[in-house]
Chains A and B, each alone.
Chain A
Amino acid sequence: MTDSALRPLYFKPRNGVRIVVWSAFAALLLLLPLVARSSFAQTLLCATGIAAIACMSYNMLLGQAGMLSFGHAVYTGLATFVAVHAMNRVGAGWWLPMWAIPLVGGLAGLAFGVVIGYVTTRKAGTPFAMITLGVGELVFAGALMFPEFFGGESGVSANRTAGAGWLKDVGITFGPQLQVYYLIAIYLFLCSAAMYAFTLTPVGRIANAVRDNAERAEFVGYDTRWVRYLVVMASSFFAGIAGGLTAINVEVATADLLYSVRSGQYLLFTFLGGVGFFFGPLIGSVLLVFALVVLSELTKAWQLYVGIVFLIMVVYAPGGFAALLMLNLRRIKYGEWRKMRWPYAGMAFFGAIALWGFAAIVEMLYQAQDAAVTGSALSVAGIKLDSATVSSWVLAMAVLMVGAFGFEVWRRRFKRVWDDGEERIAEAIKKAEAAIV
């Protein structure tokens, strides 16, 4: 047994591996538009890229420093407003290239972080969460009170093709969505790299220590308030960049960007993605855009589904999807994954059946509400149902029960195989430890 068996699977790729991972990330960003050619797909990509920066900046607070913030949209949203105003200045003749607007957003975010963070970081834990909630409501209310800056109900709009510069001369006007995508992709890559680097610095590590045990951090020489303040400032800078990119992407800033619901979304999807790993929020941002843009088109009940997934994850997989992924990678590393193929397949098969039954019931409930307007017929995943007939309800419930039963059977098998593997891995680790002198 080599001592590599001891290395935990943190997302801590060293040297060679690190280069491969980051190159793959760059290549993915570069090549994605080749697959996603439609304008809808490009819109999704742009939204995801921005959400990824926002969620990662949020995770600097939650995952790295253990600060539960309910007011992150304040930084992204205010930065969008500042950026939109800056874009309009550019239109009026300011010399500032359009690609630098996200940096304007970042600096605005940082400035707000300096001011707001000074207040919020006086406390940690629950009081911190409460203060961020209050500040969020305060800023949102303020936005409606100062229409000169916030544009009232309709917001402030801008034009991303404004201004001059050498980029214009080579045809990069940011008019086409594809050009905006690549701007976002470059910022995403640079921001990810910078935020990842931050996790490897002394302050990044002390933020983890303060998250784990703030009192002990004070007894090894750290002023925990100052640590929290530094992390909030760094986080708000990157949140501001996301806000600046939003200004370019949608060319309008409205007060709902500041609303607490948006802050809640950052929290919810960062958590779903996984706060324990650096790349977790990336997964979260994909889920965020999928839920808010795609799922909300498919069904009126999308918030119900999101809520249920969130509940299940909080209870059964508090580490989010990133942790699930890493647990499986750990299995692969110890050669334990193959045994789980069939249990996984069984759970997926019956899970899909149960999901259809459940979705059919939910969708029929919604359809029955609107039956007077849109009729009682509907289709769920291509299968035609009618919320007015008993047979449809019986079918949906029967499918749900069959699916749930099959799922439970396979889940038990899965658990046996999983626990079994866990024991063998623990033994392998013990052996490796004993080999170290």
Chain B
Amino acid sequence: MSEFALELNNVTKRFGKTEIIRGVNLAVRKGERVAVIGPNGAGKSTLFNLISGRFEPSGGDIRLNGENVAGMRPYQINRRGLARSFQITNIFPRLSVFENLRAAALYASGQKYSFWRPLSALTELNDRTEALMASIELKRRRDVAATLLTYSEQRALEIGITIAGGAEVILLDEPTAGMSHSETDRFVHLIRNVTVGKTLLTVEHDMSVVFGLADRIAVLVYGEVIAFDAPERVRADARVREAYLGAVLEAQEATA
């Protein structure tokens, strides 16, 4: 068994002639919280799409608990213990909140494709879904169709769907995108609570979220990881300041 939950070795991705990811190396230990930051267009979302199987990498390998999952379909990677959320809310719009969460937990609960058992008889799964619904604070909206939720409720549901299957490695793609400050604070708290003990990778623009949530920060610039270290050292890194953080931090200090 590998000591790393997730390991990227020289991963590349080309769209036509354009190389978006140019040899990324990253090794995330089990239980570690990593924030991936970088300027717009650096390839953060693309990187998540490669890890989760949405895209196939052009080269390199991606190891999940030591097993190479590069080129596998999303459902195969998910079954091996990796789940992700999306930057643009990606839920089951016509299903109720409860059904969204239950559907997301169904495969991992061992039900797979069964059609000889009613859902209502799966007491343990149903109880677990109710508990999850309470922990993401959507209990009041249990039977409401997901499409009718408010934006921040949908973002919470997005996280709920991601963690419902109990995956050990969680990728969150800009979980707080589009939220107000107070919502963001509440939401970061929520994410921290529901991902205890998991390996967490998150793409995030809000530096307060990044420094509050991450054990280590990976800085992605033009398809390469230019720094991967503890927050304080990344903050002090001259290359990082030059490429990205300097401008961002200045802007944030100016508005603060």
Residues of A whose CB lies within 8 Å of any CB of B are 6-8, 197-198, 200-206, 208-209, 211-213, 215-224, 226-227, 230, 234, 433-434, 436
Contact = CB atoms under 8 A, between A and B. Distances in A.
B94 interface: yes
Interface in B139-195: 139-145, 161, 164-165
Contacts of A227: 113
Contact of A219 (B78, B118, B144): B78
Interface string B115-128: 11111101000000
B120 A202 contact: no
A202 B117 contact: yes
Contacts of B118: 197, 200-201
A219 B73 CA distance: 9
Given A7-B143, A206-B103, A221-B75, A213 B83 contact: no
Given A6-B142, A220-B103, A221-B78, A201 B115 contact: yes
B111 interface: yes
A226 B142 CA distance: 29
Contacts of B108: 220-221
Interface string B87-129: 0001111111001001111111001111111111010000000
Contact of A200 (B96, B107, B119, B141): B119
B74 A219 contact: yes
Given A203-B113, A221-B107, A230-B115, 14 more contacts: A6-B144, A200-B119, A201-B115, A201-B117, A202-B111, A202-B117, A205-B106, A206-B113, A208-B95, A215-B74, A216-B86, A216-B91, A218-B73, A220-B164
Contact of A215 (B90, B120, B140): B90
Question: 3 nearest interchain CB pairs?
Answer: A221-B107, A212-B92, A202-B111
B198 to A, nearest CB: 16
Give the bracket for the number of chain B residues in contact with chain A.
35 or more
B113 A226 contact: yes
B241 interface: no
A236 B118 CA distance: 21
A436 B139 contact: yes
A208 B143 contact: no
Nearest to A429: B144
A191 to B, nearest CB: 15
A205 B78 CA distance: 19
B199 interface: no
A22 to B, nearest CB: 15
A78 to B, nearest CB: 24
Contacts of B84: 219
Contacts of A202: 106, 111-115, 117, 119, 122
B79 interface: yes
Nearest to A212: B92
Contacts of B120: 200
Contact of B52 (A205, A208, A219): A219
A201 B75 contact: no
Given A206-B103, A208-B94, A208-B99, A219 B83 contact: yes
A209 B73 contact: no
Contacts of B83: 219-220
A150 to B, nearest CB: 33
Query: Which of B78, B96, B102, B106 has the largest number of chain A CB atoms within 10 A?
Result: B106
Contacts of B86: 216
A221 B112 CA distance: 9
A203 B115 contact: yes
Query: Which of A6, A201, A220 has the largest number of chain B CB atoms within 10 A?
Result: A220
